[in-house]
Structure 1
Amino acid sequence: MKNYIFGNKCIALLGVLALLATGTATAAGTRQLATGGASTIEGSAGGGIVPWAAITGYGTGDEIGATAFASRVDTGDYRLDSQGAAVGLFNRIELSLARQDLDLITLGPALGLPGAHLRQHVVGVKLRLFGDVIYTDWPQVSLGVQYKKNRDFLIPSVVGATDDSDVDVYLSATKVFLAGVGNFNAFINGTARWTRANETGLLGFGGPLHSGRRLQAEISGGVLLSRHFAIGAEYRRKSGNLSGLPEDDWRDLFIAWFPNRHLSLVLAYVDLGTVATLQDQTGWYLSLQGAF
């Protein structure tokens, strides 16, 4: 019950900031199209699985922007639904919230738990430290913190997770290269994450193999085929703290459509490897984001 109250309070706060954004920003902000990225499954601005240094939305230094998203990852054995919202304050600070729901389509019945789900709340804060994705020689660099709270800890505790909540800390650098690949603009992002999450926290935190946080690398990059379309790939290294439940790294190939500053759509092929003993978890990812 406390988790629901906590989540509702966060949503209310983001809602208030979103109302402020509508009165402060014009046409969802004035930064260039696609420079705010999309929304990750954890709520922050970025690709689908890797956060970027970009601040959500299109607000410049004197504007406030807000985004909301819904996404689904489906491998057949698992289905992960994520929804959330974020607010970008003056292209400097980002506040985000996401709710995740993992449906154990195959594993649940195999464990004698038909209809079992693993759910998680993620609350994030990101601070742009320096640089700009386009207008400076240096990349844009941001520091992010994500507080994660697992809401269904029975299964994670049985398989060896030690905690139902924890904090991820990450440092991201993002740069857009104008005409970087032929005549096309290109972008690249690198993220270093300090974490002890199991399957991003859906299986809890820590375990018998490793109890403390470790650095994990995450990268993404792509090419803007036009002002409205981008293609690219992402890679996210995973921890593996639970004995008997090795984690494979995640990767995807995506295409993103930015018809205007108010809407973005991302479609991807995902390869999650082995997830909780089930091998060859490949499938699709779809995410829709609105900016205000």
Structure 2
Amino acid sequence: IQSADGPWQRSTHLKKHLREACRTLQPQQEISIDLLNRILVDEDREILYCYVPKVGCTSWKRVWMKIQGLASPEEDVWTMPRLQVHTAPLTTLLEYDHMEIKSMLSKYRKFLFGRRPWERVVAAYRDKLEKQTDSHYDFHKEIGAKIENKYRGTTNSTGDNVTFPEYVSYISEMVDGSAEQNNEHWKPALQLCAPCLIQYDFIGKFESLEEDSNFVLSWLGLRDVVTEFPSATMATHSTHHTPRYRAQLEPGLSKQFLNKYMEEFIAFKYDML
């Protein structure tokens, strides 16, 4: 029996709210190649998962490796290097033809997770731009350098010391912008997973990720493969850090960010303050 405030009930209320928000906001959404490539498929269990970076997707990709047999039974996917997880050949909707995709979207059980935009963009900044490790070199070089050049009037930046205000300015520009500005690590989940076009059966939230994910494991009958979803990791600490980063922003820049992510805040029922 589901409690009145359990994961399924919360999801049901959120989906109802989302449907109303979709009618009101009518956000731009499409069944794009990018979307099809981020919806993971398990044919045996007839399930689909649309992953959103910085919203528990690494952990769920670990689960997918288990259910798709990409990790041996004795292999601990929870301690596997992140790079190995993110480069694993997981099956996506993009591998199917039009009729198969249509059938799967109609028949399979589908789920995704959302996160409050403030915390999500702070998490992306801390992980991708603030960290000074070799594994982040490409991100600094490709995106960090563009940000620094844009706001500092330089042409030869290394991209390894982008400030939080520069980053927020870059991702908050109201124009459709470049591929870098629409990077999946900060692109709104509304656009990444198109929940106004696709009727997801369950929508969880990062703020209750562990509880919601354990519910999903049971709901989808995955307990035989993954007994328990891991407890909150370091990623959740971004929630505690958010005020410190937001304090660096001028009121006008905060407003610009809110305007850019307004639909996301509204659709997923998040407080904008």
TM-score of the two chains, using structure 2 as the length reference: 0.26
Higher RCO (C-alpha 8 Å, min separation 6)? 2
Larger helix percent: 2
TM-score of the two chains, using structure 1 as the length reference: 0.24
